[in-house]
Amino acid sequence: MMAEQAVIFGASGGIGAAVAARLAEDPAVTRIYLGSRTPAAQTDTRLVPFAFDLTEEASIAAAASMMDGPIDLIFVATGMLHRAGGPAPEKAFRALDPGAMAELFAVNTIGPALIAKHFLPLLPRDRRAVFAALSARVGSIADNRLGGWHSYRASKAALNMLLANFAIELRRTHPLAVVAGLHPGTVDSALSAPFQRGVAPEKLFSPDRSAEYLLNVLSNLRAEDSGGIFAWDGARIPY
Q: What is the pLDDT of residues 71-117, one digit of tens each?
A: 999 999 999 998 878 889 999 999 999 999 999 999 999 999 999 99
Kindly tell me if the per-residue pLDDT of 200 is higher than 90: no
Which of 81, 84, 169, 177 lies closest to 123, judged by CA? 177
**Phi, psi of 152, deg, nearest 5:** -65, -50
Element (H, E) at 48: strand 47-51
Q: How far apart are CA 239 and CA 219, in angstroms?
A: 22
Exposed, middle or buried, 156 (CB in 10 Å: 0-12/13-18/19+)? Answer: buried
Kindly tell me if the per-residue pLDDT of 134 is higher than 90: yes
Q: How far apart are CA 9 and CA 218, in angstroms?
A: 16
Q: Which whole-number Å values give the CA distances from 59 to 5, 37, 64, 118, in the listed order?
A: 20, 10, 9, 11
Averaged pLDDT of the chain:
93
Return the number of other C-beta atoms located less than 10 Å from residue 199's C-beta: 14
Asked if residue 90 lies in contact with residue 20, where contact means CB atoms within 8 angstroms, the answer is: no
Asked if residue 207 lies in contact with residue 14, where contact means CB atoms within 8 angstroms, the answer is: yes
Half-sphere exposure of 88 (CA within 13 A, CB side): 9
Residue 39 DSSP one-character state = P
Q: Which whole-number Å values give the CA distances from 130 to 1, 52, 148, in the listed order?
A: 10, 20, 32
Residue 85 DSSP one-character state = T
pLDDT band at 10 (very low <50, low <70, confident <90, very high): very high
Give the pLDDT score at 120: 98
Kindly tell me if the per-residue pLDDT of 202 is higher than 70: no
Give the pLDDT score at 139: 96
Q: Model-level pTM?
A: 0.93
Return the number of other C-beta atoms located less than 10 Å from residue 172's C-beta: 7
Q: Which whole-number Å values give the CA distances from 17 to 51, 134, 214, 215, in the listed order?
A: 15, 14, 13, 13
Please say whether the dihedral angle defined by the alpha carbons of residues 36, 24, 2 and 229, taken in this order, is positive or negative.
negative
Identify the three-state secondary structure at position 34.
Answer: strand
